[in-house]
Amino acid sequence: MDMKKVVAFKVLLVLALTIASTGCKKSSSSKNSSRATGWQINSREGGFQYNTDFREQETSPGLVFIEGGTFTKGRVQDDVMHDWNNSPTQQHVQSFYMDETEVTNAMYMEYLDWIKRVYPPSEENFRAIYNGALPDTLVWRNRLGFNEVMTENYLRHPGYGEYPVVGVSWIQAVEFANWRSDRVNEYNLERAGYLKRDAKILDVNAESTFSTDTYINAPTLTYGGNEEVINGEGNRRNVRTDADGNESNIYATRETGIISPKYRLPTETEWEYAALGLSEIRDYNLYRGRKKYPWDGQYTRSDKRKIRGDQLANFKQGKGDYGGIAGWSDDGADITNAVKSYDPNDFGLYDMAGNVAEWVADVYRPIIDGEFNDFNYYRGNVYTKNALNDDGTVKVVTPDDIVYDTLPNGKVIARNLPGEIAQIPIDENETYLRTNFDKSDSRNFRDGDKRSSRYYESFNDDEGEDGEKKDTDTRKMYNSPKHRITRDSLGNIIREYDKGSNRTSLINDEVRVYKGGSWKDREYWLDPAQRRYFPQDMATDYIGFRCAMSRVGSKSKSRNKTKN
């Protein structure tokens, strides 16, 4: 009898394993079978190739996940400055990623080192590229202060390596984010076997560089068309060959899921939402009260037993008090402090109040137009498209095609770098009969100027060849000074200051928002809802930045979340 039971059990076990195996095969087969046509996906013979095993976006270096949601933007406890520029509006933010800390001196020095190796400043054609990326170390100088030690050491000395970089303009911060996107994707493709191992160091030069956009649109033009790097013997493990010898899957595409979204500056809405870290005061589907700081509570000092009384951020305590008395420092710093010196907020982000204020992506306007849009709000869109050659191929910038811009402060920067695809404004081909956008530059949309009003007649607005409006009346609300930089026949810079007495504002399309208090600010500015602005081409000793990245796919990382 026992023997029969054993035999029966073995039979049942074999049947169960057979059914399970069949079920797995069926599941695997259905995953690679098109629900549209029934055809096979990812067939070795060729056809449609798609990453059917993709689970979720990999968290890129330095970032932490921020689950999106709704919150009240601009809600402040006080408005002692009477700016009236942060009226509360209900906003919804998509999930995204943000740098755990500010970009540090060491991180920025890696960027400078790469530029110096690839575009040697000893060569006249590249000198402005390196100089244009250098932080302005003179921001530390003060006419009645001895700060030369920071001027000479803060950026490069390893003693300040983990301190937030300063002296960086908004433009330079954007260029750093672009560079970082390309380096991370370059590494991702190398790991996946699409690029030659260590080509990012051994094969890179001014005529042979990697650009994410170029690789997506014209992979054979990456690395200056160097086939050994982009299609060499050592990086062909993904290639598939059909019966006729035709190869496919030679280059990675967006469909592979390997190429990540780009690093960028966070929008003002994203930054404020991330800084608040409201999840720590959430009860079910409601927020329990309001938050004045990135931490819970109404005070800047800790109430935890071990560190009771310690400051929770690095800011100016009072007149002549940047860090407390010797031996009993209130916040552990006089200027900036090393990142991660204070506890993170509930999202795991450090220094979202104090240390340095931070650039965000938005063009500054005193009014947030939440009535028009309350989803991923951002002012600053300038839509462009890839420039094309006469034969329809994308136009990749060469070392001879670099365009340099002279900023209003006289600094020269490169508008594009070799290996990148040249960009031009969108035109009627993209805007005709559209309802969601109608021109390339949308920075002034519904901001209160004449062009945004219902009395504006577009056919009376004369536009020059360069796209600039000749009708100065359209900019009347933001009638800011217009300093000019020109050059004489010898190339010398001539600075023309606008001394007009009829200017009414400092606001224009080139001023950007910065958020958060700094080591130089009083407690009032630690409130994440406070907002200020600064010219995008200028830098200070108290503004730094951190990067963000959009989330693709699901809103949350786990579907089975706790409700409280």
The Cα–Cα gap between 534 and 328 comes to 35
Find the DSSP H helices in 321-422: none
208 DSSP 8-state letter: B
The Cα–Cα gap between 169 and 167 comes to 7
Quote the longest CA-to-CA distance of the chain.
109
Q: Return the beta strands (E) in 284-419 as ranges.
A: 286-287, 324-325, 328-329, 357-363, 384-386, 404-406, 412-414
Burial (Cβ within 10 Å: 0-12, 13-18, ≥19) of residue 179: middle
Q: How far is CA 380 from the centre of its chain?
A: 13
CA angle 388, 390, 391 (to 5 degrees): 90
The Cα–Cα gap between 265 and 359 comes to 7
CA angle 141, 146, 149 (to 5 degrees): 80
Amino acid making up residue 283: D
pLDDT, tens digit only, all 564 positions of the chain:
566 666 666 666 666 666 555 554 445 567 889 999 999 998 877 788 888 989 899 999 999 999 999 999 998 877 788 888 888 999 999 999 999 999 999 999 999 999 999 999 999 999 999 999 999 999 999 999 999 999 999 999 999 999 999 999 999 999 999 999 999 999 999 999 999 999 999 999 999 999 999 999 999 999 999 999 998 878 888 887 777 777 778 899 999 999 999 999 999 999 999 999 988 878 777 787 778 889 887 888 877 777 777 888 999 989 999 988 888 778 889 999 999 999 999 999 999 999 999 999 999 999 888 889 999 999 999 999 999 999 999 999 999 989 998 888 888 899 899 999 999 999 999 999 999 999 999 998 888 766 665 555 554 454 444 444 444 444 456 778 888 887 777 777 788 888 888 887 888 899 999 999 999 999 999 999 999 999 999 999 999 999 999 999 999 987 655 554
CA angle 311, 360, 185 (to 5 degrees): 105
Q: Are the C-beta atoms of 89 and 374 separated by less than 8 Å?
A: yes
